Amino acid sequence: MIKLASEAEATLSSFYEEMRDKGAPRLRAAAWAAFSEFGLPNRRVESWHYTDLKTAMSRPAPLATASRAALSLPRAHDSLRFVTLDGVFRPDLSDIARLPEGVVVQSLRDALAQGEPHVMSALASADSGAQDSVLALNAALMQDGVVVQIAPGARIERAIELVATTSAEAEQSTYTRALVTLGEGAHASLVETLSALSAAPAQDNSALLLRLAPNARVELVTHLSGGVDHSIRVASLLAHLDVGAMINSFALVEGEGLNRRQIFVRLDGEGASAAFNGATLGRGRLHADTTLIVDHAKPSGQSRECFRNILDDQSVGVFQGKVIVRPGAQKTDGVMQSKALLLSDQATMNNKPELEIFADDVQCGHGATCGRLDKDQLFYLTARGLPRREAEALLIEGFANEAMEPLQDEQFKAFLSDRVSAWLSRRISR
């Protein structure tokens, strides 16, 4: 274990002293030891090479305190909503009384206090293998969140929305964690909404843990929005898939500040499949980092990754994708793509796709492109009377919507397309 020498890490150590006895002390202690081994990551850490969190987080904001503010949160879709506000689960803002059969929901704080073996085992094993110090920090300092358990064979018709947002006018930091387990053969749709309602530069570290039993299926839409300049958000997704399980995921990233979405998925059952797609809408000085590790541990797994970055002004995009095929994971089929549109001379894109293959009967490939809007397509549209900005908007919209095609839920697609259209409308009106 290294000595946490920086002022920021010393502050984080005081946060740990405050949180260490607030449920699951052994889990927290193990997580803090993992964080202490490496500390806050900087550019010398390979997986954080394009995002210097240690510099950005040189002054950790104070831990958020419980808020009892009465909020009216707009609904973008007909979902069952569960809200974590300023680091604390809010039953009064959540649809606790509307739970369908086969769904059990409780706050993370209550789950830690009760020490239910199934939940504690899932929480304790989730981070193993990720080896990420910021994820370990989330486990050591977790304040609250939500635990959703879906029974085997359940078919949940309405989407389950997990909201984590901040409202305080003063700078603060939140560490939230959600756990969703799907029993054998269960089907569900999830919406993860990460936002900021205030103008203060919040520092948010959130984690969503998904555990899919054999033949379980989930469609996940993640929306990262809000934030201001100098705000920091790290959103981690950890997914564990058993035999025949399937996840279909799409993420839309917009807003300001530093945003990093990191995904760790392990296909730990034969025939498991995963699709991770996303689009980033960058303007101002947004720094948007998507880092993805797909670990094929068993045979006949399939994975697809398709990400689109649309970068304007001085925004910066990052895509780091790694597909690992373990020995014995024969018949693996994996394809990874990253494409970026640069709409400004000051915009920057960093692409780093990787393959690590230790099996000989696989089909895996990756590709990365970065460029401007096609001049011939622009000429074609403007020659038919469209103003240049509107012509650009049509091409950008088609580029972004391409990544949404694998989504099955039409309501999700409509919501995401509306967000893209709103971003483009603001660009046209400037």
pLDDT tens-digit series, residues 196-247: 887 888 999 999 999 999 999 999 999 999 888 889 999 999 999 999 999 9
Mean pLDDT of 265-280: 96
Q: What share of the chain is helix, strand, coil (3-state, %, to 5)?
A: 25, 40, 35
Exposed, middle or buried, 2 (CB in 10 Å: 0-12/13-18/19+)? exposed
* pLDDT band (50, 70, 90) for residue 71: confident
For residue 258, what are the β-bridge partners? 232, 287
**Which pLDDT value is given to residue 119?**
84
Check residue 128 and give its pLDDT: 67
Confidence of residue 430 (pLDDT cuts 50, 70, 90): confident
**Mean pLDDT (whole number) for 56-84:** 83
Residue 5, token pair as written in the block: 């020498």
Question: How many Å apart are CA 1 and CA 4, to the nearest integer?
Answer: 9
Region 111-138 average pLDDT: 84
d(C-alpha 83, C-alpha 133), whole Å: 26
Answer yes or no: is pLDDT of 427 > 60.
yes
The secondary structure of 86-107 as a DSSP string is TTEEEGGGTTGGGPPTTEEEEE
Distance CA 61, CA 416 (A): 31
Q: Give the chain's mean pLDDT.
A: 92
Helix (H, G, I), strand (E, B) or coil at 38: helix
N-term to C-term CA, the chain? 52
Lowest mean pLDDT among 126-130, 335-339, 344-348, 353-357: 126-130
Lookup result for tokens 């502050």: 11
Q: What is the pLDDT of residue 103?
A: 96
| pLDDT of 68 above 60 | yes
d(CA 192, CA 221) in angstroms, rounded, equals: 6
List, in order, residues 6 or more apart from 345 with CB less than 8 Å away. Answer: none
User: Mean pLDDT throughout 407-420?
Assistant: 87
Q: Is pLDDT above 90 for 5?
A: no
Give the C-alpha separation, 123 to 127, whole Å.
8
Q: How far apart are CA 187 and CA 142, in angstroms?
A: 28
Separation of alpha carbons 128 and 238, rounded Å:
10
324's tokens: 């690992």
Mean pLDDT of 403-417: 86
Residue 326: partners with Cβ closer than 8 Å, 6 or more residues away: 295, 296, 297, 298, 358, 359
- Each domain of the chain, given as residue ranges in start order, spans 7-269, 373-430
Total-model pTM: 0.95
Is the pLDDT at 3 greater than 60, yes or no?
Answer: no
Alpha-carbon span 150 to 360, nearest angstrom = 37
Of residues 386 and 247, the one with the higher pLDDT is 247
When pLDDT is cut at 50, 70 and 90, the band that residue 76 belongs to is low
Answer yes or no: is pLDDT of 1 > 50: no
